[in-house]
Amino acid sequence: MNFEYPLVSVVVPAFNVANTIEETLHSIINQTFEDIEIIVVDDGSTDETPQILKTFKDTRMRVVRQVNRGLAGARNTGIQLSMGKYIAFCDSDDVWEPEKIEMHVTHLNCDINLGLSFCGSSLIDEKGRFLKTSQRPKLKNISAADIFKRNPIGNGSVAVFRRSALDVIAYRPANERQRDWWFDETLRQSEDIDAWMRFALASDWKIEGIPGLLTRYRIQAGGLSANLHKQFETWSRMRDKVTQIAPRFAKFNGPAAEAYQLRYLARRAFMMGDGARATQLVRRAMGVSFAPLWEEPFKTITTWVGSETLNLLRLLPKVQARFCQKITNNL
C-alpha cells in the first residue's frame, strides 16, 4: 500500500451542477499526470449532484458534503482537507485539457520561487461548444498592479498554487471556529481576484503563467455575471480591502483598475445587447482614468465605438437594429 501524499490536490467546489459535473470530473480523472487527489466539496446541493458524485469510483477522489457556505466556503473546506504539495482549483462547470496538471507541475518544479502558476482559457457555452473568444492574458512578470487592473488569472479554474505559498493568505476571522479561510467567504463574487490580490500583496512569491489555453471556461448565459450593478459593487468592496492592505498602491493604481473594471462591464453589457448601459459604463470608465485607452488602445476604442453605435441603434426600428447588432458582434 502507498501511504505517501499525492503531489497535487485538486479542489472542486460543487453546488447544483448536475448538468456539468460529470464532464468536469472526467477531465480531471483523465489528466496525464496521475499522482493527484480529487476533493469534491458538495456545498449543500439540492439537485442530483450527490447521486451523480456517487457514480464515480476513482480511488483518488473524495467527496465531502457541507451545509451551503458559498463558492469560497467550499474551496476553503477543500484546501483544509488537501494534502498535496501543490493545489489546483477547478470549478464544477469548467473543463481541463488533459495535459494541464502535468504542465503546471513541471512549471512549479522548475522554479522554487514560483508560488502560483496559471494559464489562459478558451471559452465554451452551456453545451460545451467553443466560443470565438478566449482569455489570453499576460503571462510573465505579473505584479499586483497587473492583477488589480487586468486580472490575468481570469477564472477560478486556472490557478495552481504551491501549498506553502497559498498559506500566506490563510487567516482566521474572529467568529470562525472550525478552520482557516483562504478565500473570503463574505464575498459572493470577486472572491477570486480578492484572493489573488491578497496573495500578491502579502508575499513575494512569483506569479507566472504558462502558454496555451489549458482550461475551458464555461460562460453561462444569465449566470452570476449578468448583474452588472452588483458585480461592480462587490468589485468595489474588494478595492476597499486592497486599500487597507496597501494604501499607496491602491491610490496609485485604483483609478486605472476601476476604469478597466468598468470597461469590462461595458463589454458584458454590450454582449447582452444593452447599448445604453454599455455607453454609460464606457464613458464612466474614461471619466475615471484614460489608462485603458493608452495601455490597450485597440480594445478600448472598439469597446467605446461599439457601445456608442449600439446605443444609436436604439433609434432604428427593431428588426434593422438586430441585424446591425449581429454585424457589430461579428467584428
Partner 1 sequence: MKHSIVHIVDDNSWGGVNRLLECLESAPFGLVHDKHKILRIPRGTRKPPGIAADIIVSHMAICWKNIPFFSALRSTYPETPLAHVEHSYSERYVALNVTKRDRFDDLLNMSYALFDRVIAVSTPQKEWLARRGYCQPDQLVTIPSCVNLTPFQNIANRTPEGPVTIGAIGRFHEQKGFDILVEAFAKHLPDEVQLHLIGDGPDRELLMQKAQDRKNIKFLGATSEPAEAMAECDLIAMPSRWEPYGLVALEAMTALRPLLCANVDGLKQHIENGAVAVDENTVEGWAQLLKGLLDRRVVNELPRGFGTANAEWTFIHNWNMVVQKLTNLEQSDQKAA
Is position 188 an interface residue for partner 1 (rule: CB under 8 A)?
no
Q: Which residue has cell 468598468? A: 262
Length of the chain: 331
- What are the CA-CA distances from residue 179 to residues 12, 31, 65, 81, 241 (Å)? 18, 30, 16, 10, 22
Nearer to partner 1, 202 or 271 (CB): 202
Minimum CB separation of residue 296 from partner 1 in Å reads 20
Distance (Å, whole) CA 151 – CA 155: 9
Is position 200 an interface residue for partner 1 (rule: CB under 8 A)?
yes
Site for partner 1 in 131-170 (CB under 8 A): 143-145
- Nearest CA among 92, 79, 31, 60 for reference residue 214: 31
Per DSSP (E only), the strands in the chain are 8-14, 36-42, 61-65, 86-89, 95-96, 114-124, 130-135, 160-162, 206-218
Minimum CB separation of residue 76 from partner 1 in Å reads 14
Nearer to partner 1, 5 or 171 (CB): 171
Site for partner 1 in 5-24 (CB under 8 A): none
Options 206, 237, 283, 284; binder of partner 1; rule CB under 8 A: 206
Q: Which stretch binds partner 1 (CB under 8 A): 13-21, 75-83, 200-208, 265-273?
A: 200-208
Options 51, 98, 131, 173; binder of partner 1; rule CB under 8 A: 173
Beta bridge partners of 123: 217
> How many C-beta atoms lie closer than 10 Å to residue 46's C-beta?
9
Site for partner 1 in 78-137 (CB under 8 A): 112-113
Site for partner 1 in 235-264 (CB under 8 A): 241, 244-249
Minimum CB separation of residue 243 from partner 1 in Å reads 10
Q: Mapping DSSP to helix (H, G, I), strand (E, B) and coil, where does residue 30 land?
A: coil
Options 19, 203, 225, 328; binder of partner 1; rule CB under 8 A: 203
Minimum CB separation of residue 11 from partner 1 in Å reads 21
Is position 55 an interface residue for partner 1 (rule: CB under 8 A)?
no
Task: Output phi, psi for 66, to 5 deg.
Answer: -140, 165
Distance (Å, whole) CA 197 – CA 169: 10
Nearer to partner 1, 63 or 245 (CB): 245
Distance (Å, whole) CA 285 – CA 232: 12
Options 29, 52, 64, 202; binder of partner 1; rule CB under 8 A: 202
Options 174, 315, 319, 327; binder of partner 1; rule CB under 8 A: 174
- What are the CA-CA distances from residue 188 to residues 139, 225, 253, 267, 286 (Å)? 27, 11, 24, 22, 27
Minimum CB separation of residue 171 from partner 1 in Å reads 4
Minimum CB separation of residue 201 from partner 1 in Å reads 5
Binding site for partner 1 (CB under 8 A): 112-113, 143-145, 171-175, 200-204, 206, 241, 244-249
